Structure 1
Amino acid sequence: MQKVPTVYDVAALAGVSIATVSRVFRKPHEVSQATQDRVHAAVLDLGYVPSGSARSLAARRAGAIGLCFPDFDGIDGGPAPIAYADGPVDAQLDPPEGVEPSGDLYISEVMLGTELEAWRHGMAVTIAVARGERGTEIFDNLAGRVDGMVTLSRTVPERLLAHIARRIPVVVIAGPRAGDEYDHIGTDNVAGMQAMTKHVVDVHGIRDVAFVGGPADSPDDHDRFEGFRAGLLAAGIVAPPEPLLRGDFTRGHGRILGRRLVEAGPVPRALVCSNDQTALGVLDALLAAGLRVPDDVIITGFDGIDASEMSRPRITTVRQPMRELGRAAVDTLLCRLGDPLMPPQTRTLPVTVLLRESCGCLA
C-alpha cells in the first residue's frame, strides 16, 4: 500500500507553506489564482484528499446536518440477505395487488429539499431512520456527529429530543409548538383542509361528507381534521367528533379502508382523505368495486405528491410545499447556528388547493 500523501507533501510539491495550502481549501479568495493552480496541480499529482476530521476539529464544526425520520416503511426486522447472481434471470408474474407501494413519498420530497439546501451551503446530510427498539440509540449516535438536527415531529421521545437540544440545535418539521424551545417548520394544514371542505360543500353542493384520517397521534392529521370540522361548521353542517375511519397514511391501508366502506355501504357522497396516499388507496378500492369517481363518490387528498396527478381520475388535493419544508428546515438550522440566542422560530408555509377530476372539476 502506498504512503498516504499529507498536506506537507502538497506544500513541498507546490512550493508554498502548509498555511497557504489550507487557505486554498478554506479561503480561496485570499490566495492568488496562480498559487491556487499550483496547489490544485500538486493535489491531483499526489492524489491528496483533505482530512475532513482535521478540518472539523479546527472549525469546531462537523460540516453535516442530521436528518432523522420515523419508520414509515413498516419494516421491523433487518433486510433479507443479498442473493448474488448464480443462474439464469428469473421471470415472475407481477399482479397489481402484489407488493404494496411505499408510503414515504412525502418524506422523499422533504429529504430532497433538505439535501438541496444543505448542498447550497456546502453542508453534508446524514440520514437515519428511527426504526424499532434501536431508534433512540441511532438518533443519539447521529446527534454526536452533526452540527444540528432536523427531525419529523414525534419521531423520537420528547425527553431524548430535549436532551439532544442541549448540545446541538434542533428543528422540528410538522406539529405545533408544545411549550418547547425548538424551531418549528410546518404548513397551514388547518386552512388548507378547511378550504378543501368548503369547496366540496359549497361548489359541489354535497353535505354527506366524511373524513378518512391517518394515525391518531399524527399532528398533521389532527390539524387537517380540525380544518375539515371548521369547513363543515361554517356551512351549518354538524361536524363529527372523530374521523369516519383511520389508516396509516399508506396507499395499501387506504385500499383496506376503501373496501370496508364498500362492504359497510352506502359509501358517503364525498370522502375527504387526510393525505394523497390514503386517497389513492380508497380510489383503487372504489373503482375495483364498480363505483364511479366522481359520479358516485368524490375523493380528495392532501400533499400534492406526483402519484396524485398520475391516477385516473386525478386526485383533487391540497398541495403543500414538501420540498420547501426541507429547505426551510435547513435554512432555519443554519440561522440558529449563526445566532444561537435568537428566539425560537415558527415558520408556516402556505398551501394550494388543486382542483382536478376526482371532485368533478375538469371532469
Structure 2
Amino acid sequence: MDKKPTVYDVAREAGVSIATVSRSLRTPNAVRATTRQAIRTAIDRLGYVPSGSAQSLAARRTNSIALFLPTIDELDSLSDFELATVDEANMVIDRPTHHVVARYDSLYFDTVLRGCELEAWRQGLSLVVSLGMGHSDADISHVVNDVSGKVDGIIVLARSIPDHMLEALHRRRPLVMIASSPTAHEGEFDLVRVSNRKGMCALVGHLLDAHHVSRIAYMTGPDDSPDSAKRYEGFCEALTLRGLNPAAAPIYRGQFSQRMAFDITSALVERDQLPEALVCANDQMALGALSALHRAEVDVPGRVIVTGFDGITETDTSNPRLTTVKQPMLELGRAAVATLVKRVDTPDAPAMSTELPVTVLLRESSEGVLPDA
C-alpha cells in the first residue's frame, strides 16, 4: 500500500464495521472470538498501528518506548488488591527458615530494566514496561497492539513475545531484541546480547585446568532460553577442547529456579551423587545449590565446587561468595535503548548487532579462602 493503513482499511479487510474494529481493540472480550481473529489477521497483514495519532515517526513522535519482559512467578499467586487503612503495628518472631523462594531470573530482569530506565531518562524518553509470555496468544496480541500504538519503538527481552508475533511487529515498529531474535530471521533484527558462550567456556576451562576436576555436572535453564543454550555451548566447548566428552557430564534441569536447584542438589546429597564441580547456568540456581549444601553441611569448595552465571548482587554476599560470570546487565539495558534510538532515527539502516563482554569472577565457592589484596 502507498499510504499508511487506517482503521477503515482494517474494517474493509476483516469484513466488519469500523465500530467493531475499535471495540475489538479497546475491549476484546466484547467481540466474538472469530471476529477478533479476523481483525487481528487484517491488522497483521496490513501493518496497521492502532493509534489515532499513527503517522510517520520522522514527522511525529511520542518520545516513549516500550520494554516487554517475560512473565514472572509472582503473577501465579497475584490476587485482587483492595485499598484499606489499618492504623496498627504488628510484631512477630522472625525465625530462620530453609525455605527457598523461586524467583527464576527476575533478579536479572530487575537490573536490565534499570539499565533501560537510566538510558531512557538520559535520552529524554519515557519507558513503558509490559509483560508478555505466560498468557494466551490473544491476550499477548491485544497487549502488543495496544502498546505499539503508543510508543516510537519497542525492546523485547527474549521469550517475551512469540516469534510469529515478533515478525509482524517488526514490520510495524522499530524493534530491538535483547539476548535473541527469531532464528529464521536473526540477521534482520537489531540485537543486543552478551558473550554467553565465551564466558562459560572460560569458567569451565579454569575449573578443569586449575582445579583438575574429573566429575563435573551442569545445571541448565529452560529449553527455550537462548542465554541458557549459548552457555551450554560454552560448557561443551571447554570439555571438548580438553579431549573430554560433554555427553558424559550429567545435566540437571533447574529451569533457572532457585527452588528447583535447591531440591535437585538436596536429592544429590541424599543419594551421595554429588560431582566435584556443579556448574549452574545462572546465579539463582547456584544460590539454591549453595543453600542445600549448607543445610547438609557439605564443604564448598572442599567437597564440591559451585559456580553461577550473571553476577547478581546476592553472589557477593553468599556464604561462600559465589564464583560467577558477571554479565553487564545494566549496560545491556542501556545498549538496547541506545540501539532503538538509532533505529528510530535511521529506519532504513542495516540491522545492528552488539555483543557485550563478560567477566569471570573467581571467588571462594571455587577458590577457597582468598588472600587479601
Question: Which whole-Å CA distance do the structure 2 matches of 1:76 and 1:113 have between them?
Answer: 26
Letter in 1 for 2:159: R
Task: Give the deviation of 1:75 after TM superposition.
Answer: 2.0
Letter in 2 for 1:345: M
CA RMSD, aligned part only? 2.4
> Residue 189 of structure 2: which of 182, 188, 210 is its match?
182
- Asked if 1:63 is matched to 2:68, the reply is no
Runs of 4+, deviation exceeding 6 Å: none
Question: Which whole-Å CA distance do the structure 2 matches of 1:242 and 1:163 have between them?
Answer: 41
> Residue 167 of structure 1: which of 172, 177, 184 is its match?
172
Aligned partner of 1:76 in structure 2 is 76
- Asked if 1:132 is matched to 2:132, the reply is no
Question: Which whole-Å CA distance do the structure 2 matches of 1:306 and 1:187 have between them?
Answer: 18
Aligned partner of 2:34 in structure 1 is none
> Residue 309 of structure 2: which of 302, 309, 326 is its match?
302
Query: Unaligned stretches of 5+ in structure 2?
Result: 1-52
> Residue 233 of structure 1: which of 231, 240, 264 is its match?
240
TM-superposition CA deviations, 1:189-243 (whole Å, max 9, x none):
1100000000000001112111111111111111101100111111221112786
TM-score (normalizing by structure 2)? 0.78
Aligned partner of 1:91 in structure 2 is 91
Task: Give the deviation of 1:86 after TM superposition.
Answer: 3.2
> Residue 215 of structure 1: which of 215, 222, 232 is its match?
222
Question: Which whole-Å CA distance do the structure 1 matches of 2:285 and 2:204 have between them?
Answer: 17
- Asked if 1:290 is matched to 2:297, the reply is yes
Q: Is the 8 A contact 1:148 1:169 kept in 2?
A: yes
Q: Is the 8 A contact 2:163 2:182 kept in 1?
A: no
Aligned partner of 1:122 in structure 2 is 124
Task: Give the deviation of 1:360 after TM superposition.
Answer: 1.9
TM-superposition CA deviations, 1:301-346 (whole Å, max 9, x none):
0000000111010000000000111111011111111111111111
How many residues of Structure 1 are paired with residues of Structure 2 in the alignment?
Answer: 311
Question: Which whole-Å CA distance do the structure 2 matches of 1:58 and 1:185 have between them?
Answer: 24
Q: Secondary structure at the match of 1:156?
A: coil
Q: Is the 8 A contact 2:279 2:306 kept in 1?
A: yes
Question: Which whole-Å CA distance do the structure 1 matches of 2:318 and 2:157 have between them?
Answer: 28
Q: Is the 8 A contact 1:207 1:237 kept in 2?
A: no
Q: Secondary structure at the match of 1:171?
A: strand
Task: Give the deviation of 1:93 after TM superposition.
Answer: 4.1
Question: Which whole-Å CA distance do the structure 1 matches of 2:206 and 2:249 have between them?
Answer: 21
Q: Secondary structure at the match of 1:302?
A: coil
Q: How has the CA–CA distance of structure 1 residues 139 and 76 changed in structure 2, closer, same or farther, with 3 Å as cutoff?
A: farther
TM-score (normalizing by structure 1)? 0.80
Question: Which whole-Å CA distance do the structure 2 matches of 1:68 and 1:241 have between them?
Answer: 38
Aligned partner of 1:28 in structure 2 is none
Q: Secondary structure at the match of 1:179?
A: helix
Q: Secondary structure at the match of 2:351?
A: coil
Q: Secondary structure at the match of 2:269?
A: helix
Aligned partner of 1:100 in structure 2 is 101
Task: Give the deviation of 1:182 after TM superposition.
Answer: 1.4
Aligned partner of 1:153 in structure 2 is 158
Q: How has the CA–CA distance of structure 1 residues 161 and 244 changed in structure 2, closer, same or farther, with 3 Å as cutoff?
A: same
TM-superposition CA deviations, 1:96-128 (whole Å, max 9, x none):
335716341110110111111111110000000
